[in-house]
Amino acid sequence: MPATRRNFFSWTRNALAASGLLGTAPATAQAAAASGADYYGKLGVTKIINAAGTYTALTASIMPPQVQAAVAEAARHPVRLAELQQKAGEHIARRLKCEAALVSAGAASALTLGTAACMTVGNKQAVSLLPLETSSLKNEVIIQKGHRYGYDHAIKNCGIRFVEVDTLDQYEKAFSGRTVMCHFFNAAEQGQISREKWIEVAHRHGVPCFNDAAADVPPISNLWNYTQMGFDLVTFSGGKGLRGPQNAGLLLGRKDLIEAATWSNSPHDETVGRGMKVAKEQIIGMVAAIDWYLEQTDEGMQAEFRRRAERVAAALKGIPGVQHEIFVPPLANAVPHLLIRYDHTRIPPLEVAERMRKGTPSVELNPATGHKSGSAGLPNAEDAIIVGVWMLQPGEDAIVGQRLREVLKAAV
Ligand SMILES: *Cc1c(COP(=O)(O)O)cnc(C)c1O
């Protein structure tokens, strides 16, 4: 074992002992041994400390133990997929106070299935016309110009075309006989038409409204706020703040639309959704994640994330020029993040990120580090470091603080 690794392990042991976490280690090790081989180790895949956040490229989130256990249990038995999909949907709809729900293969998949639903509702045989033969169907989706984003490709996958608007007046005039849906990006930083107005105008024209709130829990109540506000369809990512399986998501909303979405979903062939399979393990994982999430409180989560940010900051005490603040983005990823300012002329933030990545253990800082703009709601961090603390595992905040201290001290 190289010295740095050994140091890390003894250091980790001390840190865990200090935080009282070591007492649970034997049980955890036993559980790990019972649950199978370490294939990351076998394959030589680097395990990382996620001080970034719920980024898909970093495998986003870790399922809480009770969700992992539910997934493992589900893996032991075959079931009838249609029955599982239906009963899982009913449970989720009940818990999230909406008419109906479907577990999708992520929020992007829900965007495709929800759009397909709007295009085919009441016209089941039309599902096979998507995406290329849509000329006989309504196929225009209205969207605010400032709400265009990378994920709207998932809507385009249905063969629609976007009609872009800026002002309320343009919105009113954008409806045609071909308008099939009005799309809203919940965390958009631009766009002048409010959610309420967006819904009101669409409904006056008899057109359903979709809200993409994929990254917008916490607060927990957002899980029902937007359907209750009147959006006909709402999606959340299952593998972000909800900490369900990475390849799961939620499509919530109107019963007739959710039913139409299932027509385009796996296992049905000749549909846009056949490749968006959600296995029984992920469906159960999604349900279990919701049950877990509804046991949490907003106050409890915010306080925990704040404590972690403060622990990381405390490790940097005494390094000349280091200042920190804790900030909470307004809508997406609305949890405490740590922003660190320091003498970046000695070592630029991107270099800090690279050294953290190359160190042992390998730490990923928030990708907004060293960049003008990150994900929605993150501040300009061109000269700063951002630590996303909410996906850290117990004890990792201390490790991130220690590693950051080493990297920054080496540069002063
Ligand atoms: C992450 C995200 C998605 C995609 O979610 P997946 O669950 O990874 O498919 C879609 N829309 C927004 C706004 C997101 O943040």
For residue 375, which atom of ligand 1 is closest to its CA? Answer: 15
Cα of 107 to ligand 1 centre, how many Å?
Answer: 5
Average pLDDT of span 269-289: 98
Which of 308, 245, 274 has the alpha carbon at shortest distance from 74? 245
For residue 400, what pLDDT is reported? 98
3 pLDDT band, cuts 50/70/90, is very low
User: Which ligand 1 atom sits nearest the alpha carbon of residue 154?
Assistant: 10
HSE of 54, CA atoms in CB hemisphere, 13 A: 27
Two structure tokens written together for 29? 């090790």
Q: DSSP labels for 28-77?
A: HHHHHHHT---HHHHHTPPPEEEES-S-GGGT-----HHHHHHHHHHTT-
Instruction: Between 35 and 411, name the one with better pLDDT.
Output: 411
Q: Could you tell me the pLDDT band of residue 346, with boundaries at 50, 70 and 90?
A: very high
Q: CA 412, CA 117: separation in Å to the nearest integer?
A: 58
Ligand 1 pocket mutation pick from 104, 240, 333 by most atoms within 8 angstroms of CB? 240
pLDDT value for 307: 98
Point out the ligand 1 atom lying closest to the alpha carbon of residue 111. Answer: 10
Question: If you take atom 8 of ligand 1, which residue's CA is the nearest one?
Answer: 106
Q: Is residue 101 within 8 Å of residue 258, measured between CB atoms?
A: yes
Query: What's the half-sphere exposure (Cβ side, CA atoms, 13 Å) at 322?
Result: 24
**Contact status, residue 124 vs residue 266, Cβ threshold 8 Å:** no
Q: What does the alpha-carbon distance between residue 173 and residue 198 come to, in Å, rounded to a whole number?
A: 13
Chain centre distance of CA 89 = 20
Residue 247 CA: nearest ligand 1 atom is: 7
Q: What's the mean per-residue pLDDT of the chain? A: 92
Note whether 86 and 293 are within 8 A (CB).
no
Per-residue pLDDT of 41-99, as tens digits, reads 999 999 999 999 999 999 999 999 999 999 999 999 999 999 999 999 999 999 999 99
Q: What percent of the chain has pLDDT over 90?
A: 89
Rounded to the nearest 10 degrees, what angle do helices 280-293 and 81-95 cross at? 10
pLDDT of residue 377: 82
Average pLDDT, integer, range 224-233? 98
For ligand 1, atom 2: residue with the closest CA:
214
Distances from the Cα of 17 to the Cα of 31, 115, 400, angstroms: 20, 52, 17
In order, the DSSP letters of 329-358 are -SSTT-S-EEEEE--TTTS-HHHHHHHHHH
**Within 6 Å (CB) of ligand 1, which residues are found?**
56, 106-108, 151, 212, 214-215, 237, 239, 249
| DSSP alpha helix (H) spans, 215-323 | 222-229, 255-263, 280-293, 298-314
> In angstroms, what CA-CA distances link 66 with 17, 72, 106, 278, 287?
24, 10, 20, 20, 11
| Dist. CA 354 → ligand 1 center (Å) | 26
Tell whether the model's pLDDT for residue 20 goes beyond 70: no
- Quick check: pTM over 0.75? yes
Distance 374 CA to ligand 1 centre (A): 15
pLDDT digits (tens, 9 = 90+) for 117-160: 999 999 999 999 999 999 999 999 999 999 999 999 999 999 99
Q: Whose CA is nearest to atom 13 of ligand 1?
A: 214
Q: How far is the CA of 110 from the centre of ligand 1 (A)?
A: 9
Measured CA to CA in angstroms, residue 160 lies from 74, 116, 163, 338, 383 at distances of: 37, 9, 10, 41, 41
The answer to whether 361 touches 404, Cβ cutoff 8 Å, is no
Strands (E), 122-255: 140-144, 161-165, 179-185, 209-212, 233-237, 249-253
Q: Is there a contact between 178 and 294 (Cβ–Cβ < 8 Å)?
A: no
Torsion (CA) 283, 284, 285, 287 in degrees, nearest 10: 90
The domains located in the chain, with CATH, are: 5-62+297-410 (3.90.1150.180), 79-293 (3.40.640.10)
The preferred substitution site among 102, 190, 237 for testing ligand 1, maximizing ligand atoms within 8 Å of CB, is: 237
Tokens of 363: 């730490």
